Structure 1
């Protein structure tokens, strides 16, 4: 019988969740299950080090998957030949959305028992961090910080509320954005993100959505070796509101103050700016480079399905 190590974030309060119990019951019907309820990075590293060949299953959202992948990278144990299972139990579950994973806990457990491995790209940065879905700087990161205050009470509604609060006060940052060595911008003769233009948001994505379904990078693919880079200069009050409205349906990519570029390496420099990587917040970032590592890991997806990975 296959051995599974099911990682539950004790700090997120999911250990007593009825949905988690449902998933564990379904998993135990077909596998030998060990549960690791971890509360910090040290406990997570210890649990992964002692898994003794068990397949890792993450219960949680993008932040939980991010933490597990980061820990596997740091211990040299991330292997695309050893797929990770995901039981979506986060607030947004945006990576699961891109992969077409079921939200129902019993159905998600069935994917882990019968699904196939899907190789995925991993975005890594020059500070030792990883990105499994999306990293964004600027107003999106400010929105994420604001949403933290409302998540426990409001769930996914916290994300648009946080965006509204952040959008009232954010006027942009003069960031320079380079994609594969070229400055990002709005096309020939238009604006460029060369450090002289105020930028509202920069996003580097392999997943399609953030914040529980907002299609920030609607054409992104998590397995093509490229990141979708979205840059917005919608810094005026009216432009900010219009950008936020268009983002809800993915129409923001059609705006003149938005550029979408695809590439393997992205560098952002400028004044101190907030950053959000898979829901993990960081303040006062002045320079960061990300590069795409193709097929660096894999996730179990429904057998016989596209897993939401086609354009």
Structure 2
């Protein structure tokens, strides 16, 4: 029987982190599993808790949103320890990419019975931010600005906060000139944003990279180029289904390593939490993490 340590972000979605764990914890314990709970005071603290639990041979449950999943999963990347997810944030996009069920009973069965699968992680480095490892995506441009607005939203939650953040970001955005180096080949694009995606989803269920797979050893690089702002709002709506990649304003590249630079000060983010400025390099770490799901 598996032994679990749940690392909880008590602020994810308000009190949703602790609340989401309660139902799952009851079912895990009823099945005979041992479960201990550790509350994190920060993402750095969550990483330390995760590494300690993983070194003890315990399955580490990341309870929270994509920031918590990325922090805990990044800490376990390359260690051989096993990650489980209890989604309790605004986006839960990596859990969505894994196909995890929302029903507590079904999720408990996954955590108790499924065999760990190897998935890729993403190493992120820049001159102004320490090296970190995340799970979902690295995004630069209007996406990062929109995510910053969403994180600061006080009255809106979930997809609504991301949509409102996107509207605010686009309204003030000036197109940038991006220089991308993908596996040594340089590409230049002007426009709104660049997303280096391990998971196909970001921004609370938006299918930004329909072809991305978490276990293919590659990043899908989606570039949203220059377009009238009214068309960009249409593109935002098409992110729900992935139809935006059929537009001529959207370019999709694939590679193992991408460096993103710009001709002016442009923000980037990763897994909803890392906020810094370009340039940044994202490199896939194939099969570096064992996860239940």
Q: TM-score under structure 2 normalisation?
A: 0.90
Question: What is the deviation of 1:54?
Answer: 1.5
Residues 254-290 of structure 1: per-residue CA shift (max 9 Å, x gap): 111110011111011122211120101413x231111
- Higher strand proportion (structure 1 or 2): 2
What SS is found at the alignment partner of 1:141? helix
Equivalent position of 1:40 in the other structure: 42
Equivalent position of 2:197 in the other structure: 205
- In the superposition, relative to structure 1, how do residues 168 and 104 fare at CA in structure 2: closer, same or farther (>3 Å)? same
Which deviates the most, 213-222 or 243-252? 243-252
Q: What runs of 5+ residues in structure 2 fail to find an aligned partner? A: none
Residues 222-263 of structure 1: per-residue CA shift (max 9 Å, x gap): 101111000111343233223223323211111111100111
Q: Aligned equivalents of 1:33 and 1:245: distance in 2?
A: 41
Q: Aligned equivalents of 2:232 and 2:45: distance in 1?
A: 42
Q: Aligned equivalents of 1:252 and 1:43: distance in 2?
A: 38
Equivalent position of 1:8 in the other structure: 8
Equivalent position of 2:71 in the other structure: 67
Equivalent position of 2:228 in the other structure: 236
Equivalent position of 2:271 in the other structure: 278
Contact 2:10 2:17 in 1 (8 A): no
Question: What is the deviation of 1:15?
Answer: 7.1
Q: Aligned equivalents of 1:156 and 1:297: distance in 2?
A: 28
Q: Aligned equivalents of 1:151 and 1:212: distance in 2?
A: 16
Contact 1:120 1:297 in 2 (8 A): yes
1:163-242 alignment runs, 5 A limit: 163-184=166-187, 192-193=188-189, 198-242=190-234
Q: What runs of 5+ residues in structure 1 fail to find an aligned partner? A: 185-191, 302-311
Equivalent position of 1:24 in the other structure: 25
Contact 1:171 1:235 in 2 (8 A): no
What SS is found at the alignment partner of 1:223? coil
Q: Aligned equivalents of 2:137 and 2:213: distance in 1?
A: 11
Contact 1:9 1:15 in 2 (8 A): no
Equivalent position of 2:245 in the other structure: 253
1:53-64 alignment runs, 5 A limit: 53-64=57-68
Q: TM-score under structure 1 normalisation?
A: 0.85
User: Number of paired residues?
Assistant: 284
Which deviates the most, 36-45 or 285-294? 36-45
